[in-house]
Structures are given as structure tokens and as C-alpha cells.
Amino acid sequence: MTAAVVEIDHLWSVFRSGGMDAVVHQDLSLRIQPGELLSIVGGSGSGKTVLLRQILGLETPARGRVTVLGEAAASMGREGAASRVGMLFQHGALFSAFSVLDNIAFPLRELQTLPADLIHDVAMVKLRMVGLDTSAAHKMPADLSGGMIKRAALARALVMDPPLLLLDEPTAGLDPGSADEFCALLQSLHQELGLTVVMVTHDLDTLLELSTRIAVVADKHIVTEGTAAQVMAYPHPFIQEYFLGERGRRASTLLHTTPPTS
Ligand SMILES: Nc1ncnc2c1ncn2[C@@H]1O[C@H](COP(=O)(O)OP(=O)(O)OP(=O)(O)O)[C@@H](O)[C@H]1O
């Protein structure tokens, strides 16, 4: 059997606030295999972003284990994490004082081991890989459209060729046309680069277009996972609310399945 890229075993995420422990994940387990594009869906505050942060090693499990490519996520360190995991934040999170090219090059510069001309060349390759024109290299983030910001942030996330890419609401804030284009880019990069991708999204179109598997977080753990049709058939209040109604009808049309009735 192939080794999983991400293994989450019996994870508990607990935050202490106001003298009380808030349990976000309770005995949550999930395995993500090479080449999957796994989407995580769940209600607001269900702990999707905390799960991404656990995979990135930015949070430490209160109990349980999160490993990325066989190593404990929390002990990867910044450099180790950067070479294994690329992260596309919801709003791009570009440095506003840096040009597009300097943003893309930033993780390579941080290594302090590569010559400047090599860093420049690699950053230009990544800029073109995400469909940006070379004329965008010296633009500042404030001069970019929403779609260009996402592309530049994606190029930065992939600049160190990580095998694993995390996407937090990749199409949030984009108009429908730009969202479609960005989805097409993500799909082609997923396939061409052989990436393993973990995505958090509220957007049903993005979910259905890109996911090879969907995991639903509710009640502090993964309540069900599988194909869209399998997940939609699972009788849980969040799933019914999420997939029913107008959005759900469109989803079921696309899938040629009938959503569960309440
Ligand atoms: N550093 C922290 N300290 C205390 N509580 C936290 C911390 N980070 C997250 N939480 C809490 O954990 C819970 C889950 O947050 P998270 O951001 O993962 O939810 P989410 O599923 O991504 O929600 P949304 O869909 O609204 O973005 C929330 O109640 C949040 O307040």
C-alpha cells in the first residue's frame, strides 16, 4: 500500500480561552493519499482552518498525531515545512511592499543559500507557470486584480516545488469568470505536477469541479468522506443544509444524483 502524504491520527485540537478549554477536534482521523485532491467541508467554526494549520505544523496537537510525508508536522520547522507544503491563504497574503516577483522569490531568498540570478530565474518560471504575463513581475500587489493576486500567491506557494499544496478558500472573492479560470489552473497544476492537494472551500462549484474526495468535518471529527455522491447521501444535518436548496439542486444536477431529503 502507498504511504499516505498526510496522516492524521486521533487528533485533538484544544484552545484555552477565558480559563476554559475549547475542544475543536476530538479524535479526528484522516489519511490523504498521493495525488488526491481532498476537499474539507464543514460549518463555520467547525475547525477546517485549524486542520490546515495542524498540517502546516503551525498548531500542535493536544493529543494524537499529524504527520506529513512521514514526519510529525509540528516538528518540521519553517524550512522543512516550506519544502514539503505550499499554502495558498484565503486572501493571497502577499507582502504589500514587495513586487510580484519578490513575493514569489521570498521563500527562496529566506533559504540564504541560492544565488540571486537563480532565484530570479526560478521565480520567473513560476510566474509563467501560473499564467501571469512577465510584465506582471514588477507590479505591486495593490495594482493586481483579485485573480492575479491568487495566481501570484499560488506561484509563491509552489516556488519550492512542494509535493503537498494546501488551499484555503481558493476562489473566495473572485468573480465567477475568474473563479472558473482559477479552478482550471488548479486542476491542470494538480495533474501536471502530480500534486497532492488539500482544499477548504465553501464554494460548491469549486468543490464539485476539483475534488477527487470530500471529507466533512462536523461534531469535532470527520463524519463522512468519499465522492460527492457518497457524501451527499450521508444523513447529517450539516450535509443536508449544505447540499440541499438551490445550490444543492445544482450540485445534484451536475452529479445526476438525488440529494437526501430531510
Ligand atoms: N488560536 C486560537 N485560539 C483560540 N481559539 C481558536 C484559535 N484558532 C481557532 N480557534 C477556534 O477554533 C474554532 C475553529 O476555527 P476555524 O477557523 O478552524 O473554523 P473554520 O471551520 O475554518 O471556520 P470558517 O468556515 O468560518 O472559516 C473556532 O471556534 C475558533 O474560534
Query: Please, are residues 101 and 127 in contact by the beta-carbon 8 Å criterion?
Result: yes
Contact, 238 vs 216, CB < 8 A? yes
90 near 169, Cβ under 8 Å?
A: yes
Query: Ligand 1: residues within 6 Å at CB?
Result: 15, 17, 22, 24, 42, 44-50
Q: How far apart are CA 66 and CA 244, in angstroms?
A: 33
pLDDT of residue 245: 59
- For atom 1 of ligand 1, the residue with the nearest CA is 15
**Mutate-to-test residue for ligand 1 from 50, 202, 222, highest number of ligand atoms within 8 A of CB:** 50
Among protein residues, the one whose CA lies closest to atom 28 of ligand 1: 45
pTM: 0.89
What is the ipTM for the molecules in this complex? Answer: 0.96
Q: Distance, CA 131 to ligand 1 centroid (Å)?
A: 33
Alpha carbon 207 to its chain centroid, in Å, reads 12
From first to last of its 262 residues, the chain has per-residue pLDDT tens of 568 999 999 999 999 888 888 999 999 999 999 999 999 999 889 999 999 999 999 899 999 999 999 888 888 776 667 678 998 987 768 898 999 999 999 988 887 888 889 999 999 999 999 999 999 999 999 999 889 999 999 999 999 999 999 999 999 989 899 999 999 999 999 999 999 999 999 889 899 999 999 999 999 999 999 999 999 989 888 888 888 755 655 655 665 555 544 4
Check residue 253 and report its DSSP letter. Answer: H
Specify the amino acid at residue 172: A
User: Angle at CA 37, nearest 5°, toward 33 and 38?
Assistant: 80
Q: Which three cell numbers stand for residue 174?
A: 473572485
The torsion region of residue 25 among left (phi > 0), alpha (psi -120 to 50) and beta comes to beta
Contact 24, 75 (CB under 8 A): no
Q: Please give the distance, rounded to the nearest whole angstrom, from the Cα atom of residue 20 to the centre of ligand 1.
A: 15
Give the pLDDT score at 75. 80
Residue 59 buriedness (CB in 10 A; 0-12 / 13-18 / 19+): buried
pLDDT at 247: 61
Burial of 142 (0-12, 13-18, 19+ CB in 10 A): exposed
193 alpha carbon – ligand 1 mean position (Å): 31
Q: Bridge-partner residues for 25, per DSSP?
A: 13
Give, to the nearest 10 degrees, the angle between helix 77-84 and helix 100-111. Answer: 120
Q: Which amino acid is at 213?
A: R
Q: What residues does 222 pair with on adjacent strands?
A: 217
| CA of residue 39 to ligand 1 center, whole Å | 18
Which residue, judged by its Cα, is nearest atom 2 of ligand 1? 15
- In the reported structure, the alpha carbon of residue 45 is separated from the centroid of ligand 1 by a whole-number distance in angstroms of 5
Residue nearest to atom 5 of ligand 1 (CA): 15
Mutate which of 48, 58, 219, 242 for ligand 1 pocket (most atoms within 8 A of beta carbon):
48
Angle at the Cα of 241 from the Cα atoms of 240 and 244, rounded to 5 degrees = 70
- Give the number of the atom of ligand 1 that is nearest the alpha carbon of residue 15: 4
126 CA to middle of ligand 1, Å?
32
* pLDDT at 84 (0 to 100): 86
Quick one: pLDDT at residue 262? 42
The contacts found for 48-54 with CB under 8 angstroms, 24 or more apart, are 48/200, 48/217, 49/168, 49/200, 50/13, 50/24, 50/25, 51/8, 51/13, 51/25, 51/200, 51/217, 52/87, 52/166, 52/168, 52/198, 52/200, 54/8, 54/11, 54/13, 54/25
**94 CA to middle of ligand 1, Å?**
22
